[in-house]
Each structure stands twice: as structure tokens, then as C-alpha cells.
Amino acid sequence: MRDPELDEALKLGAEVLGRDKPLAAVARELILRGAEQMKPPEDAFERWLDENGATRATGSTAQLLEEVRALKPYEPLDPRPMPEILDELREDRI
């Protein structure tokens, strides 16, 4: 007995992946893509962080606000380049 939903999914998969692909390859790709979509959002967020070279925040919001309050006010006329300013801020933390 045929499963009409499965037949439709395989048909759409073949249209996207190429009609010359074997049915087993189309089914495999659909299974893998479906499994990827079923991962919990937490995994998706972690993947996004990894893909963008980011990490989760380690401090609390209160710590961040304290650090922001301690920063000098922005001076638009400061001629120093941003890398120099960032180096100075890093030195303060070490």
C-alpha cells in the first residue's frame, strides 16, 4: 500500500534535488533535513553562535551594566583609531 504523503514528499524532494538522483538519495536527504529541523531551538542557537564565531555570554546583566557605567563617554572627535581604543580597554581588564 502506497503512502500518498510520502510519495508527495519524494516527488517534491526530487524536484529540488534533481530528478536524476536515485530515490534512496532523495529519501536520505529528506530524512537528514527533517532531522535537522526537528532539533531543539537550543541546538540551532548554538550552531548559529558557532557559525558566527560567537560564544554565550558568561556574565550577568548586572555585571554588564557595571562595566558599561565604568566606560568613558563616547567622544566623536577622538582622533585615535578604534583598535587603539579597544587595546586600551583590554589592558584595563588584564
Which whole-number Å values give the CA distances from 50 to 29, 53, 76, in the listed order?
A: 23, 5, 33
pLDDT tens digit string along 26-59?
A: 999 999 999 888 877 777 788 888 889 888 888 8
Per DSSP, the residues of 45-88 read HHHHHHHTT-----S-HHHHHHHHHHSPPP-TT--S-HHHHHHH
* Residue 72: HSE in the Cβ half-sphere, 13 Å Cα cutoff: 9
- Domain housing 49: 1-94
Total domains in the fold of the chain: 1
* Residue 57: HSE in the Cβ half-sphere, 13 Å Cα cutoff: 6
Query: Over pLDDT 90: what percentage of the chain?
Result: 33
pLDDT beyond 80 at 2 = yes
- Predicted confidence band at 94 (pLDDT cuts at 50, 70, 90)? low
pTM to 2 decimal places? 0.42
Q: What is the CA radius of gyration of the chain?
A: 25
Residue written as cell 503512502?
Answer: 3
pLDDT tens digit string along 66-90?
A: 988 888 777 778 777 788 878 888 8
Mean pLDDT for the chain overall: 86
Looking at residue 84, its pLDDT comes to 82
